[in-house]
Amino acid sequence: MHPILIVAFILLASNLALGQTQAQLDRGKYIFTISGCKSCHTDTKVESQIMSGGTGIKTPFGIFYGPNITPDKEFGIGKWSDEDFVKAIRKGISPSGDHYFPSFPYTSYTNLTTADILDLKTYIFSLKPSRTPSKSHQIKIPFNIRFFQLFWKWLFFNEGPYVYNVKRGEDWNRGAYITNGLGHCGECHTQRNILGGIDNTKFLGGASNGISGGTVPNITQDHKTGIGNWTNQDLLTFLTMGMLPDGDFVGGTMAEVSKNISELTVYDSEAMALYLKSIPPIHNVVEK
C-alpha cells in the first residue's frame, strides 16, 4: 500500500477515535448533569474540587457522605474498570463486593443503559483527580452493617435496566427513563417505609420524611394535593427554569435539582413533561 494512503488511514482512524471520545464526553457530561452527581459528591459549601466528596445527607438512619469519585487511583475510583463502574450503578455493589447503602440512589440509576453508564464513566474519568479522602458515614447501629443491605435489596431493589413499554410511544418511554433513571425523582418524591424502602404504590405521591428531614411535594396528577392542575406549559416552564405556576421559584434542595434539569434538551424536557402528566393521581397531603 502506498505510504501516503497508510498515513491518511492512520489520521482518519485517529480523528474518528477522537470524535468518538468527544461524543462520549459530551453525552457523559449530559448524563452527569441530569443525574445530579455533583450535588452529592461535591461539597459546594466549602467550594471543594468537583466530585472530591460531598456534604452529609441526613436520614433517619444516620448521615451519609458522598465519597470521592474522581479518577484518583488512591482516594477516588481511578482503578475501576468499566465492569466495576457498571456493577456499582446497576447492582449497587462496589468492586470489593460490598453492598452500597441506598443513600446512593442505585435503586434508580439501575435503570440506566450500559451505554449511558459507560459514557458517564468516560466523563467522570476526564475530571481532575483529587487526593481528598472520603468521609466515613455516621450510621446508627445496626444499619451500618453492610451485610444487611443484601436483605434490604431482596425486599426493595429491582435491578434494571429500564424496560421499554411497548404500549407507549418513544417520547413517553424517554420521559419515563429520565424520571425513573437519570432524574431519580422517585427517590425524594415517594414515601419511604420504616426501613427506608420506597413505597412504589405511592409513586411520586410526596414524602413526609424527605432529605434532611423536610417534606417533599406530591407531583402526581391529583388536582388537589398534586400537580394535576398544572398545564403542560406550567410543567415545561418548571422543568426548564424551576418556576412554579404562581411565578415563584423553588428553593431548598430542589433549587439544585432544578438547576440540573434545566439543562435537559427540549426533546427530553417535553418527554419528561409527557410522562409526568401520565402519572396516576394519588391523593396525599404531605405533612410532617
Q: Which residues bind other proteins (CB under 8 A)?
A: 214-215, 233, 237, 240-243, 245-253, 255-256, 258-259, 262
Which string of DSSP letters, residue by residue, matches 62-93? EEEE----SS-TTTSSTT--HHHHHHHHHH-B
Select 83 or 248, whichever has its Cβ closest to other proteins.
248
Q: How far is the CB of 167 from other proteins (least distance, A)?
A: 34
Q: How far is the CB of 205 from other proteins (least distance, A)?
A: 17
Q: How far is the CB of 187 from other proteins (least distance, A)?
A: 18
Q: How far is the CB of 207 from other proteins (least distance, A)?
A: 12
- Residue 109 and residue 120: Cα distance in Å, rounded? 11
Q: How far is the CB of 240 from other proteins (least distance, A)?
A: 7
* 160 contacts: CB under 8 Å, gap ≥ 6: 90, 110, 111, 112, 181
Select 95 or 214, whichever has its Cβ closest to other proteins.
214
Select 119 or 187, whichever has its Cβ closest to other proteins.
187
Residue among 192, 196, 189, 205 at smallest CA distance from 253: 189
Q: How far is the CB of 219 from other proteins (least distance, A)?
A: 14
Q: How far is the CB of 237 from other proteins (least distance, A)?
A: 5
Residue among 113, 92, 251 at smallest CA distance from 181: 113
Select 37 or 120, whichever has its Cβ closest to other proteins.
37
Select 50 or 243, whichever has its Cβ closest to other proteins.
243
Residue among 72, 84, 87 at smallest CA distance from 125: 72
Select 214 or 281, whichever has its Cβ closest to other proteins.
214
Q: Cell digits for 45? A: 459549601
Which string of DSSP letters, residue by residue, matches 190-248? B-B-TTS-B-GGGTTSBBSS-GGG--B---SS-TTTSSTT--HHHHHHHHHH-B-TTS-
Please count the CA atoms within 13 angstroms of the CA of 64 that sit on its side-chain side. 17
Select 161 or 242, whichever has its Cβ closest to other proteins.
242
* Phi, psi values for residue 99, rounded to 5°: -85, 135
